[in-house]
Amino acid sequence: MHAVRPLGVSIALAAILGSTVTFAPAASATPAGCGDLSKGSLCIKGGKVGKTDSFTWRVRYVRHQGGEIKVKLGSQRKNSDITAWELWFGTKKTRNGVVELRRKHEINKDECIRGVMEYKSKVYVTKWRCP
């Protein structure tokens, strides 16, 4: 499991960028589109990047340690004009350490996508999947 960015670096970066910016520590990427977080893994599956169409995207969090938690899951998309915008799929509690939500939405052929999770006002993300 890879460590998440040190807190001191995150705080310094947030201070530089201004108080209105929320820093989202990126999860480490794996070939399957998942990222390792300190207590689990976050994945985005489904769809196809590089093609304009409507696909079902699945965002899944697997908690390897600790009790059951309630998280908000969704995705973010970006292209050369838009940095990122969030589409929340919903909020759900883990069951046996696992939670997954899915939603069908369009992606354009020039867009990247990543999974996002919010827990206790902190946002966690996977690496971008790009064409």
CA–CA distance, 124 with 128 (Å, rounded to integer) = 12
Contact criterion met (CB below 8 Å) for 89 and 62 = no
pLDDT at 30: 59
Domain made up of 7-125: CATH architecture = Sandwich (2.60)
* Nearest Cα to Cα of residue 99 among 43, 55, 52: 43
- Per-residue tens of pLDDT for the chain, all 131 residues: 444 444 443 333 333 333 333 445 555 545 556 778 889 999 999 999 999 999 999 999 999 999 999 999 999 999 988 877 789 999 999 999 999 999 999 999 999 999 999 999 999 999 889 88
- Count how many residues are written for the chain: 131
Spell out where the chain has E strands.
Answer: 28-29, 34-37, 40-46, 53-63, 70-78, 85-93, 98-107, 112-119, 122-125
What is the four-CA torsion angle of 40, 45, 50, 55, rounded to 10 degrees? -140
Domain ranges of the chain: 7-125
